[in-house]
Structure 1
Amino acid sequence: MPFGEQPAYLRVASDLRKKISDGSLPPHARLPSQARIREEYGVSDTVALEARKVLMAEGLVEGRSGSGTYVRELPSARRVARTGYRTMEECTPFRQEQSDERVRGTWESRSEREEASHETAERLFIEPGDKVMRTRYVFQVEGEPVMLSTSWEPLALTGRTPVMLPEEGPLGGRGVVERMAAIDLVVDNVTEEVGSRPGRAEEMAALGGVPGHAVLVVARTYFAGKRAVETADVVVPADRFKLAYHLPVR
């Protein structure tokens, strides 16, 4: 194959992708059958099959049992605003994860004690095996799951205090900034690292997506001075969200 020339299956996939993009194949339209692709593009069954697999892997089409392959209706990307930690007045868990004031969300959560993994310990600057409180959240907008978060807090800081359980007690549901202030820890800085990876089966089941499709992961850690008080992984489907940062320039 000459340098720079695409394999046949990618050329076919590219043309079909263009038809989906310009509306020639609108949402819910049936994708041409394997035989039709073979005839229209003059390619083999193998090439036609591989082209369809590419579009399916990209999330542009979906198979329906006994019916065929159809163009997916892709949702508009929802903006997730990231502006660092919030003030106490607005620091509920949902506000903690995104600051778009137009969005009103609810959440479900579950907290459990566990031993810190090597990764969690590294992020919290504690020893592997130290006790932490892990809390898993499912965030919803208008009843639709849109975001997952798993947080870890060192029990050496919060154990036997009124804020040990993030969603229970006098400050249950208030968020990290206000809860830590109640035990004399002033949260004054936060770090975030954004990456992507294939969504895990349990994550996509919770979010109503397809296992293997890409997710964005925000690895966030709150600090009181140099002391890490909470770290979390925020997971959102990459095809449904875009992250927007607004940060001060000092």
Structure 2
Amino acid sequence: MCTQIDAITWNGGTAVAQPEYLRIAAELRQRIASGQLAPGDQLPTLPALCTVYGVSETTIRNALRLLATEGLIETRARAGTRVRPRPPIHRMAADRYRSTPGAKSTPYTRDQGIGWSEYRLDKRFERVQADTELSALFDCEVGERLLARHFVFYDNDQPTQMSTSYVRWSDVAGTPVADPINEPWPGGTRAQLGSLGIRVTAITESFTAAMPNEVEAATLRIGAGVPVLRYTRKHIADTGRVVEVAHPIVRRGDTTIVDFRIELDD
């Protein structure tokens, strides 16, 4: 089978043939980005696009498949292909872990700018043992017993974050913190640990970006071409002991902005 190659690009002064479906995808992508094709707009039918671009249905399908992978369009039975609504941008402020006395909120709800009634949490708890990676993060022995808490966070029924949070079993065994019925917990992990007499005085986060794996793409309902932000968080007690590790926390990367403020003495 031959691949249609019409477009020519230049790479270091050398002409490079580009598959036609990439050119068509780039043109449609630009129309979406500029607002010519707005969220909810229906794209022309396959035959119509074939006529416009003078190519085969296979070429058009390849272009649309690429845009769908990037999360820009979606195709539904008997509804055609439409531009997907773009989720709002959310800013993660550096001070989101500061507690607000009496407030029924968590760092997640403050990140999302939503109220408690708009927040839903899927959860699954299990007891595990620290492997080499977790023992290094906790600075504990391999094999130490931990409670793994798997969460999917929803903003008005839209999944926007997933994480696995680990706490030491010796800290939480037999307490309300070990019972998933008590989630979500107002104030989040810091408030939970505070209820056990553990005073958290520092939180660290380490960020990376990558393409989603199959589970992440399915859970967050994003295309395989939408990048995700993964980060590892530690809650550290006033004794210097690591008392919680979330590894990883995953959010879609194209709608998340992480804000930092650095105070300078000079």
Q: What range is the shorter-chain TM-score in?
A: 0.7 to 0.9
Label 1:243 to 1:32 Cα distance change in 2 as closer, same or farther (>3 A): same
SS of the residue 1:20 aligns to? helix
| Aligned residue number for residue 234 of structure 1 | 249
2:107 matches 1:96: yes
2:140 matches 1:140: no
Which of 61, 66, 84 lines up with 1:54 in the alignment? 66
2:13 matches 1:3: no
Deviation at residue 200 of structure 1 after TM alignment: 4.6
Contact 2:228 2:253 in 1 (8 A): yes
Label 1:26 to 1:162 Cα distance change in 2 as closer, same or farther (>3 A): closer
Which of 236, 245, 253 lines up with 1:223 in the alignment? 236
Q: How does 1:179-198 map to 2 (within 5 A)?
A: 179-198=192-211
Label 1:33 to 1:164 Cα distance change in 2 as closer, same or farther (>3 A): closer
Contact 1:31 1:69 in 2 (8 A): yes
Equivalent pairs: percent with the same residue?
A: 26
| Aligned residue number for residue 112 of structure 1 | 126
Contact 2:235 2:242 in 1 (8 A): yes
Deviation at residue 123 of structure 1 after TM alignment: 1.6
| Aligned residue number for residue 54 of structure 2 | 42
Which amino acid in 1 is paired with 2:10? F
Label 1:12 to 1:193 Cα distance change in 2 as closer, same or farther (>3 A): same
2:85 matches 1:73: yes
Contact 2:106 2:186 in 1 (8 A): no
Deviation at residue 90 of structure 1 after TM alignment: 6.7
Label 1:162 to 1:66 Cα distance change in 2 as closer, same or farther (>3 A): closer
Please report the TM-score for the alignment, with normalisation by the length of structure 2. Answer: 0.73
Deviation at residue 153 of structure 1 after TM alignment: 0.8
| Aligned residue number for residue 137 of structure 2 | 123
2:23 matches 1:23: no
| Aligned residue number for residue 98 of structure 2 | 86
Deviation at residue 132 of structure 1 after TM alignment: 0.3
Please report the TM-score for the alignment, with normalisation by the length of structure 1. Answer: 0.77
The separation in 2 between residues aligned to 1:216 and 1:143, in whole angstroms, is 20
Deviation at residue 164 of structure 1 after TM alignment: 5.0
Deviation at residue 174 of structure 1 after TM alignment: 4.4
The separation in 2 between residues aligned to 1:139 and 1:244, in whole angstroms, is 18
Which amino acid in 2 is paired with 1:119? E
| Aligned residue number for residue 14 of structure 1 | 26
SS of the residue 2:10 aligns to? coil
Q: Structure 1: where are the runs of 5+ without partners?
A: none
Contact 1:107 1:137 in 2 (8 A): no
The separation in 2 between residues aligned to 1:142 and 1:63, in whole angstroms, is 23
Q: Structure 2: where are the runs of 5+ without partners?
A: 1-7
SS of the residue 2:178 aligns to? coil
Label 1:179 to 1:146 Cα distance change in 2 as closer, same or farther (>3 A): same
CA RMSD of aligned residues (A): 3.3
Label 1:98 to 1:68 Cα distance change in 2 as closer, same or farther (>3 A): closer
| Aligned residue number for residue 152 of structure 1 | 166
Deviation at residue 201 of structure 1 after TM alignment: 4.7
Q: How many residues get paired?
A: 244
SS of the residue 2:39 aligns to? coil
Which amino acid in 2 is paired with 1:96? P
